[in-house]
Amino acid sequence: MRKTGQRVRTAVAVLTAAVLGLAGCDAVGGDAPDEAGLGRQRAEAAPAVVWDRSPASVAAVGDSITRGFDACGVLTDCPEVSWATGSSPEVDSVAVRLLGTRAATRSWNHAVSGTAMADLPAQMERAVAHAPELVTVMTGANDACRSSTAAMTPVEDFRADFEEALRTLRKALPKTQVYVASIPNLLRLWSEGRTNPLGRQVWKLGICPSMLGDADALDAAAEQRRATVQQRVRDYNAVLAEVCGADERCRYDGGAVFAYRFGTAQLSPWDWFHPSKNGQARLAEIAYRRITAEKP
């Protein structure tokens, strides 16, 4: 019995040593894909990118909204009231809020009225020349605002052009931050402006015909046309969210501009579609809150 007990104790001791040895190997970094090893690899990974909530320079790219179109006069740009880089105290633009008096020399507006997502890579290339610390993006409405629903930009083309624009930026400025605004709710803009006789007359000049054409028509075909445009805008916004979300230095507004309920005070008194000075100020508020938020 003593010999048997001794053999048992010896076997237990050997087994215990073996187990401790294996545990020791894992504890100091063995090759096995154990949880401890994975946890250590995660801990040793590069630190997360920290968003700079006070960038020292701003460049804006986009379309007529960022140019302040129809905010100061009929069918004309008014960049001084741009939500992104304008100097007007009535708007208090993103650039002014971030840079104060330096905004005049440290912000640039490369948006162009009438442009679509296909034009964004070229605009981004011009913005890159300033080496800005932040680029604001608001474009896409003109991809939906076409002569007909059939003429709207296909979603995959929209995606490819946006990805190309970000690649253009990243190739030259890998650390520049990007704020991307969602496309406004075009159906709501139609709903708000259609009651104004002047607005309806201006719309006939060709402002967003896919949505605003035959503004008074409420038949099934007109309703379907507007619903098709609205869905395309939603699809575009989903692309903006997804592509921006894959870039660690990009912040999408989470659909805030699309969700904003523009009223008559926020719409141009000349076309009842583009933002007024008040509307530009609201866009600036939305953007500033998200750019300076601790978390996206």
Q: Could you read off the pLDDT of 114-159 as tens digits, one per residue?
A: 999 999 999 999 999 999 999 999 999 999 999 999 999 999 999 9
pLDDT the model gives residue 205: 86
Over residues 10-38, mean pLDDT: 40
Domain 58-291 is found in CATH 3.40.50.1110: yes
**Please, which pLDDT band fits residue 48 given cuts at 50, 70 and 90?**
low
Q: Over 188-217, what HEC string results?
A: HHHHHHCCCHHHHHHHCCCCCHHHHCCCCC
pLDDT the model gives residue 18: 41
pLDDT the model gives residue 235: 98
Domain segments of the chain as ranges: 2-44, 58-291
- Better-predicted residue by pLDDT, 29 or 58: 58
Q: Is the pLDDT of residue 221 over 50?
A: yes
Q: What is the dihedral of CA 167, 171, 174, 180, to 10 degrees?
A: -30
pLDDT the model gives residue 163: 98
pLDDT the model gives residue 7: 45
**Please, which pLDDT band fits residue 239 given cuts at 50, 70 and 90?**
very high
Query: How many residues does the structure list for the chain?
Result: 296
- Better-predicted residue by pLDDT, 29 or 243: 243
Over residues 249-275, mean pLDDT: 95
The mean pLDDT value of the chain amounts to: 87
CA distance 285 to 109: 18
Over residues 156-185, mean pLDDT: 98
**Please, which pLDDT band fits residue 247 given cuts at 50, 70 and 90?**
very high
